[in-house]
Structure 1
Amino acid sequence: MPETAIVWFRRDLRTHDNEALAAAAEADRLLPVYCVDPRRTGEQAYGGRDSFQYRKVGRHRARFRRESLADLRSRLRDAGSNLLIRRGRPATVLPELAAAVGAETVTFHDLPGPEERAIRAETVAALRDAGVVPRRFWGRTLHHVADLPTPYTEVNDTFTPFKERIEADVPIRATLSGPSVPPLPAADDSDVDAAALDAGDLPSVTTIVGGETTDSHVSAEPDADAERSDERGVHPFPGGEPAALDRLSTYLWEGDHLRTYRETRNGLLGANYSSKFSPWLNEGCLSPRRVHEEVESYEQDRVANDSTYWLRFELRWRDFFQFQVLQHGEQFFTPGGLRRREDVEWRWEPNEFERWTVGETGVPFVDANMRELDATGYLSNRGRQNVASFLTNDLDIDWRRGAAHFETQLVDYDPASNYGNWAYIAGVGNDSRQRAFDVLEQARKYDPDAAYVTHWLPELDGLPPETAHAPWTLSTDDQAAHGVELGLDYPRPMIDPTTSGDDPT
């Protein structure tokens, strides 16, 4: 192993089960680095046919990422090291740092998305040109890509055959413990440019979202307004590895919520109807293999049932989408999706899209979910499916615009899972069946007392549950009696809700 190594942190902001960190820690000296790539912030063009502009990172994920970076830096400092933060392309930053500290190798985790793979390829080429050895690892999934029964290019495009094959044939690798972190390169070493060891400031929320700065060391204080959480949210989702491990312990062991997960997972209100591990999994603060090992321990010590199986089942759904985007690349993000459909004519109606984004469609179950998303950056799985179905199947608006809006808003955004699920609902992804939801029937089924709707739409509070879900049925006299005037206090519906979807479960 070389005397000096760099570990390039990407979406793996943890010390446990981090193979890239463990490999780099075999060196005598180690420089941990995180790059704020300006290409991954601010307004971006969604290219190809019918291109449009959108913001890649919104305030919720920016806040979570900043907290995760702050925690990782703190943990590394406690270990006698540090986390250097730089603004710039990794292909520029990393070779320069390697030259400044005499590093012979850079370790990092690979990511499956085409944009992330392009950044990796560019960076690897630049490192090799500079005489630095790049070493890449895989730590994104429950099942390692090298352990799949077929090459990832041949993974079945249907989930069930994929699941059955890996459940039968593919072991799950054991987690790695957090390594002993070597010291930083010595500032007084003749081969080291001491200025290169300046840690740099944590990026502000504004910087991560896309605020302008020319300082390569990034600057700044957090933005209080951007970080303020909404007390109506199901969970505050603090960023960082300790918060991730605390949530894992609290959900499984202290609350014993895993025992009934399959029965509660379609909930809408409260912290514990689902695991809510996704923000930490997707920013890399929590390893999916660590979750698996905790579930195994839970099954041995408490109970093994449909619920414990189902949590692992959903981790495999997550794996499936990672391998699908790895296999199909840019095709995953096209209007016709993996099915290359040419028979769907997506509409573009800016006013209708805007009403959907702000929760003013006039359909309470849709609006409540969209207002929760805007206020908190989180949405239940049931909610995500319904608002996606409404946009694509009722309004016929391009599914990619909805997925891009989620990319901006979600605290737990993951390219593969987000776009994979949107394409699935839109009928252009990994399922040929029609996935249109009857949002009114879904509301009655999953929010029978309208507690969720009135939680996020206080203007409907006081209405009986049936009319809270369908306020357009109120007569003029009933509106006056309840103090809700349609078109003033709450909008009239954009569509006839009684014609929505076919209500898949």
Structure 2
Amino acid sequence: MKRSLIWFRNDLRIHDNEALIKACQAKEVVPLYCIDPRHFAKTSFGFPKTGYHRTKFLLESLQNLRSNLKEIGIDLIIREGKPEEIIPEIIEKYDIDLAFTHKEITREEIDVENSLKDTLGDTLTFAWSSTLFHINDIPFSKEDVPDVFTQFRKRTEKESKVRKEYEEPTRASLVPGIEAGKIPTVEDLGLEDKPDDPRAVLNFKGGEDEALKRLQNYFWEGDHLKNYKFTRNGLLGPDYSSKLSPWLANGCISPRRIYWEVKQYEEKRKKNVSTYWMIFELLWRDYFRFSAWKYGDKIFWPSGIQGKKRKWKTDRDIFNKWAEGNTGIPFIDANMRELNNTGYMSNRGRQNVASFLAQNLNIDWRMGAEYFESLLIDYDPCSNYGNWAYNTTVGHDPRNRYFNIISQAEKYDKKGEYVKNWVPALRKVSKDFIHEPHKMNQDQQTLFSVDIGNGYPEPMINLDESYEEIKARD
């Protein structure tokens, strides 16, 4: 193999990168990333497919990948256009012997892979890197992936092992004469640059270096892993959870790196339910991906994998109140405003806002999933749509489940500090009313410097009545 190409996608790292290490066995390499215009088009409900926060994180990740590739003697080649058009041209022009990439699992990515495979045939080789457990190592065929997570987890833990990481390449040579290309700015991609929000739980920055720095800080320097299970539902501050999901979604860090780091931590510091829970969450991530492998496009259907028929609404005015954080229900509004301003939201918040949109408002859950796709810096189609379907009762939990929003708010934001951080109009409200400010009389509103209905909206629905409607559904 004289010349090879590695097509980077959601694997923007040097460590534990099977496609990269195989490509680097050639004498000369083309490391390629394609800025696909389809990723910056509109979703089916008209949202920007890749919004500002996701785009910024991606571009930072590409800059860091380029820097790290230069350390081993090569460069990241950037091209704007469709991979199925660009890659065959490069292969022909530069006489490439083999092309490597990591396999994806959902429809849009598979369509591009199939188009390339039709053109390139055996020149294109796939590796697998997106999950903790390799697809060839789980104790299930595609059709036999269980519909219950616990069944998947128990058998996989018992019968499968996590593979060791691939070594990092130390030296490679770039195919001569190929132009590197410019990594675009957010403005180049038609988006308006925004300042960072100082209220964000963490100043997320894309790239492998930042991912490994975060791992080091959370596990070792801050020593937070030992408490992870008991703090992971916190809402304010950087260290109640690992916050590794944005780097995982972009492939800036390997799930196996996290796993083996947990094992080191257990040897050197402490092994307890929290260290296990970090691996448990990685297993959930695996489960959603393998479920997408099993069910294919059904994970995007309104009826989900359950095939549940329900009359969904698509009222834009109602949806926009939810999306903009103007529902009049502070816990929902705070979470949506955090998402809009930072591209991030806690898992606890995601479950509540999803339940509220789909269950309380009866709005088509796919609108919410697409809105998240646009904004979340840790967007991954399998986890995003899997979690939305789960919280909407068309996914892996068929029960008519829903969240009591006020109870959740009082449990996880007891003093209202999170709400006050993101809803300034309620900053002076007593904790007795912070989650239901509409219950204050006029004197109390004056005392706490808020005018419900003007400075902050009345609740858009009666929550208690909506819960009764949910219970009455089949």
Asked whether the 8 Å contact 2:74–2:173 carries over to 1, the reply is yes
Alignment-derived partner of residue 374 in structure 1: 340
Which of 180, 191, 207 aligns to 1:199? It is: 180
The alpha-carbon deviation at position 181 of structure 1 amounts to 3.6
Query: Which one of the candidate residues 353, 362, 365 is aligned to 2:331?
Result: 365
Aligned to 1:416, which of 367, 371, 382?
382
Deviates more, 1:109-118 or 1:15-24: 109-118
Partners of 2:106 and 2:289 in 1: CA distance: 8
The answer to whether the Cα contact below 8 Å between 1:368 and 1:456 also exists between their aligned partners in 2 is yes
Return the alpha-carbon distance in structure 1 between the equivalents of residues 222 and 456 of structure 2: 38
Task: Using the TM superposition, give the Cα deviation of residue 206 of structure 1 relative to its aligned residue in structure 2, in angstroms.
Answer: 3.6
Once residues 345 and 450 of structure 1 are traced to their aligned partners in structure 2, the CA distance between those partners, rounded to angstroms, is: 35
Which residue of 1 is the match for residue 247 of structure 2? 280
Q: Does 2:10 correspond to 1:11?
A: yes
- Deviation digits for residues 192-243 of structure 1 (CA, Å, limit 9, x no counterpart): xxxxx111100222445xx3xxxxxxxxxxx7x5252111000111100000
Alignment pair present for 1:92 and 2:81: no
CA distance in 1, matches of 2:413, 2:54: 28
Question: How far apart, in 2, do the equivalents of 1:136 and 1:159 lie?
Answer: 27
- 1:63 and 1:227 in contact (8 A); partners too: no
- Pairing partner for 2:62 from 44, 55, 69: 69
- Find out whether 1:436 has 2:420 as its counterpart: no
Q: Deviations over 1:291-336 (max 9, x none)?
A: 0000000001111101001010000000000111111111110000
Which string of whole-angstrom CA distances, capped at 9 and with x for unpartnered residues, describes residues 483-502 of structure 1? 21111100000111344559
Distance 1:206 1:416 in 2: 29
Q: Using the alignment, how far apart are the partners of 2:72 and 2:204 within structure 1?
A: 25
Task: Supply the distance in 1 between the matched residues of 2:41 and 2:373 (Cα, whole angstroms).
Answer: 12
Whether the aligned pair in 1 keeps the contact of 2:139 and 2:160 (CA below 8 Å) is yes
Instruction: Write the deviation string for residues 321-352 of structure 1: whole angstroms up to 9, x where unpaired.
Output: 0111111111110000000112x111121111
1:186 to 165, 170, 176: 176
Q: Which residue of 1 aligns with 2:297?
A: 330
Q: Is the 8 A contact 2:13 2:253 kept in 1?
A: yes
User: 1:434, CA displacement in angstroms?
Assistant: 2.1
What is the rounded CA distance, in whole Å, between the counterparts of 2:67 and 2:316 in structure 1?
A: 44
Aligned AA (1:304)? K
Q: Distance in 2 between matches of 1:336 and 1:162?
A: 23
What residue number does 2:144 align with?
Answer: 154
CA–CA separation in structure 1 for the residues paired with 2:170 and 2:119: 29
TM-superposed deviation, 1:470? 0.5
Give the corresponding residue for 1:487. Answer: 453
* Cα deviation, residue 42, structure 1: 2.0
Equivalent residues of 1:425, 1:436 under 8 A apart: yes
Choose from 127, 136, 152 the match for 1:137: 127
CA shift in 2, pair 1:281/1:365, >3 Å: same
Residue 258 of structure 1 corresponds to: 225
Tell me the alpha carbon deviations over residues 370-395 of structure 1, each in whole angstroms, 9 at most, x when there is no partner: 00000000000000000001101100
Aligned to 1:123: 116
The question of 1:33 aligning with 2:14 is answered no
| Residue 81 (str. 1) matches residue 62 (str. 2) | no
Structure 1, residues 384-408: CA drift from partner, whole Å, max 9, x if none? 0000011011000000000000000
1:93 and 1:65 mapped to 2: Cα distance?
20
Letter matched to residue 74 of structure 1: S
The corresponding residue for 1:461 is 427
Q: 1:181 to 1:328 in 2, by over 3 A?
A: farther
Aligned residue type for 1:118: D
Structure 1 159/245 Cα, relative in aligned 2: closer, same or farther at 3 Å? same
Q: Does 1:389 align with 2:383?
A: no
For residues 456 and 265 of structure 1, the distance between their equivalents in structure 2, rounded to whole angstroms, comes to 20
Deviation at 1:122, TM superposition (A): 0.9
Alpha carbon RMSD of aligned pairs, Å? 1.4
The alignment partner of 2:211 has SS state of helix
Give per-residue Cα distances to partners, 1:85-132, cap 9 Å, x unaligned.
00111111111101111101100001111111111111121223xxx6
Rounded to whole Å, the distance in 1 between the matches of 2:89 and 2:317 is: 47
User: Contact between 2:2 and 2:26, CA under 8 Å: does it hold in 1?
Assistant: yes
Residue matched to 2:160: 170
1:203/1:153 CA distance change after superposition, 3 Å: farther
Alpha-carbon separation, structure 2, partners of 1:366 and 1:31: 47
Secondary structure in structure 1 of the residue aligned to 2:99: strand
Q: Which residue of 69, 87, 95 maps to 1:102?
A: 95
Matched-pair contact (CA < 8 Å) for 2:72–2:169:
no
Residues 285-294 or 92-101, more deviating: 92-101
* 8 Å contact kept, 2:32–2:76: yes
Tell me the residue number matched to 1:190.
none
Deviates more, 1:431-440 or 1:310-319: 431-440
Deviation at 1:35, TM superposition (A): 0.5
Distance 2:108 2:352 in 1: 28
The 3-state SS of whatever aligns with 1:71 is helix
Structure 1: gaps (5+ residues): 47-51, 188-196, 212-222
AA aligned to 2:459 is P
CA drift at 1:259: 0.6
Q: Percent identity?
A: 44
Correspondence for 1:54? 47
Distance between the aligned counterparts of 2:188 and 2:367, measured in 1?
Answer: 24
